[in-house]
Amino acid sequence: MAVERERFYECEVKRRRVRAGGGYERFWKVKLIADALIDEDKEFRCKDCGGALKLFRRKMENAPPPHMEHKLKIDSEYCRAGIAFLKATDGRQPRMSANPVR
Ligand SMILES: [Zn+2]
């Protein structure tokens, strides 16, 4: 079956936790996008390449559940989960985003 669009249902969200030495530290955690929306997470990135993602919310009854795709085309072309990468036939190697969300 041909996959024509990217549709990620999981991403990394930025969370905060207590650091062992005191204070807080930020870290990225893999999460279902549906759960991230419920928890009102604000910062997302691709769990495979660290690139920025664009969110698509469900607007109609029969629309697919909330999902994300790469914001940058170049990420999709070289992320190992990217649709453009998966469709590429030139034997390219996956790599991390050149503009990762930190
Ligand atoms: Zn990616």
What are the domain boundaries of the chain? Answer: 10-87
The rounded Å distance from CA 25 to ligand 1 centre is: 24
65 vs 95, which has greater pLDDT? 95
What are the backbone angles phi and psi of residue 58, rounded to the nearest 5°? Answer: -70, 125
Burial of 99 (0-12, 13-18, 19+ CB in 10 A): middle
Cβ atoms of 37 and 16 within 8 Å: the answer is no
DSSP 99: S
Tell me the mean pLDDT in the region 31-54: 95
Ion ligand 1 neighbours (CB, 5 A) are 46, 48-49, 51, 79
Average pLDDT of the chain is 92
Write down the pTM of the prediction.
0.86
Q: Furthest-apart CA pair in the chain: how many Å?
A: 51
The rounded Å distance from CA 21 to ligand 1 centre is: 33
Residue 5 is predicted with a pLDDT of 82
Q: Does residue 58 register a pLDDT over 90?
A: no
33 vs 20, 24, 28, CA distance in Å?
A: 29, 24, 14
Tell me the mean pLDDT in the region 74-98: 96
d(CA 33, CA 97): 20
Residue 26 is predicted with a pLDDT of 94
Reported confidence tier of residue 77, pLDDT bands at 50, 70, 90: very high
